[in-house]
Amino acid sequence: MEFTAQELPQKGDTVVVGLSGGVDSTLTALLLKERGCHVIGATMSLWDGTIPEIKTHKALKEACYGPGEEENIAECRKFCAQYGIEYHIIDVKEAYNREVLQYFKAEYRAGRTPNPCIRCNRFIKFGALLEGIQKLSIDFDYFCTGHYARVVRPSEGLWNTDVRPYMIAGAADVSKDQTYFLYRLPSDILKKVRFPLAGIKKSEVFELARKAGLDAAERAESQNFVGEEYFDLLFADKESVPGDIIDLDGHVLGRHRGIEHYTIGQRRGLGVSSSRPMYVHSIDAKNNVVVLAPNDSLNAFGLIANEFVWPGDVEPADPFEAMVKIRLASRPAKAIVQRAAPEECDSASDNNMNGSAAWKVMFETPQRAVAPGQSVVLYNQEGVVIGGGIICKRL
């Protein structure tokens, strides 16, 4: 099947650009302005100052959620004024707290490893932000961001149907691929979304930004959603509950300081002594136990995932082969994907989350550290996202 990249905005189109103050979004706005588009800049306001101690941590200044937001907004405002771009700040604090922060904490406290960026893209950047724009009665043709991805459309219907949805595919700079973060965006939203940096490598972005004299070209890259120090501050709202650290045979190896401080595959900071390296194998939230095992024991032949999303809401009827990623940094692995049988799920809810059936993914080669709470994203051979879900069980 062939996939056609969707055209970028043309001269005269009204385009809203999600601005963060970073080089990617700033250059995106400039390129569209030079293209003759009517550009409108919009920045999300996330930071509500409810964790005052964060202000004392300089390393957190460039995090996407933190006190550095004020400086980011000032830089966005300055850039837009310089280039005659209409600018708006959209308050999404309440939605961000509910959909990202509370979700993040609840998942970790349940022994799972969430991905807040995926959640943020679905409900905030391409959700609450766009709703805020619409409330301002701003009519736009496209919404653009500085993500490294493409929007494509198949030449024929998916899975033997007539549905030709808008889909996410990889960009030219494979090293900056962000399709994993975007897989949950619905096709009806993608219809008006474009990524102008899709055909540009990151090194070229910096080069173009410097030639244009953009201040953003000299800024450090924004950091991850949460660092180690930040993590402790975020979880300070509730006291951690210590428990046992055990091996696969149930022998007690030590004590953990709260299951929210541990992730599958972790080796450092475990506080136990052993004759061989030990890693977090699994987390038993019900019994408040962290289970360790040697590295080889972390390999899995497959997984069960639920909360699946499919382009155009078209669900495959039969098993199929796909390239899958079980985390952002993992290399795509070949696998067979098929519906999970009820007996393969831990509970009835696993097989019917949000009305979506659970699916089983069986790897051609075992994969290390499959973590419940993370996403498994499915790609075809052309690097187009064909579905994805939330991992609930390793096999």
CATH topology of domain 3-229: Rossmann fold (3.40.50)
pLDDT digits (tens, 9 = 90+) for 148-183: 999 999 999 999 999 999 999 999 999 999 999 999
Residues 6 or more apart whose CB falls under 8 angstroms from that of 206 comprise 23, 217
Classified as helix, coil or strand, 243 is strand
End-to-end CA distance of the chain: 32
The yes or no reply on domain 299-394 and CATH 2.40.30.10 is yes
Separation CA 245–CA 229 (nearest Å)? 23
DSSP string, 263-308: -TT--TT-----SS--EEEEEETTTTEEEEE-GGGGEEEEEEEEEE
The pLDDT of residue 142: 98
Which phi and psi (to 5°) does residue 279 adopt?
Answer: -130, 160
Q: Summarize pLDDT for 89-123 with one digit per residue, the tens.
A: 999 999 999 999 999 999 999 999 999 999 999 99
Strands 243-247 and 193-194, by their bridges, are: unpaired
Q: What is the pLDDT of residue 68?
A: 81
Instruction: Give residue 234's pLDDT band: very low, low, confident or very high (50, 70, 90).
Output: confident
User: Is a pLDDT exceeding 80 seen at residue 370?
Assistant: yes
- Tokens standing for residue 2: 């062939």
Neighbours of 165 (CB within 10 A): 20
Give the distance, in angstroms, between the CA of residue 392 and the centroid of all CA atoms in the same chain: 17
* Cβ pair 293, 281 in contact under 8 A: yes
C-alpha closest to that of 253 among 279, 274, 237, 277: 274
CATH superfamily ID and name for 239-293 = Adenine nucleotide alpha hydrolases-like domains (2.30.30.280)
Q: Is the pLDDT of residue 59 over 80?
A: no
Structure confidence by residue, pLDDT tens digits, 258-302: 999 999 999 999 999 888 899 999 999 999 999 999 999 999 999
Cα(199)–Cα(178) distance, integer angstroms:
13
pLDDT of residue 218: 85
Give the SS3 label for residue 85. Answer: coil
Contact 281, 346 (CB under 8 A): no
Q: What is the pLDDT of residue 60?
A: 53
Phi-psi sector, 12: left (phi>0), alpha (psi -120 to 50), beta: left
310 token code pair: 């499919």
Strands in 279-284's sheet, in edge-to-edge order, are 252-256, 243-247, 289-293, 279-284
Q: Residue 24's pLDDT band (boundaries 50, 70, 90)?
A: very high
State how beta strands 38-45 and 14-18 pair.
Answer: parallel
Q: How confident is the model at residue 48 (pLDDT cuts 50, 70, 90)?
A: confident
| Residue 13 C-alpha from the chain's centroid | 29
Q: Spell out the domain ranges in the chain.
A: 3-229, 239-293, 299-394
Instruction: Please check whether residue 128 is in contact with residue 95, taking contact to mean a CB–CB distance below 8 angstroms.
Output: yes
Q: What integer pLDDT is reported at residue 222 of this predicted model? A: 62
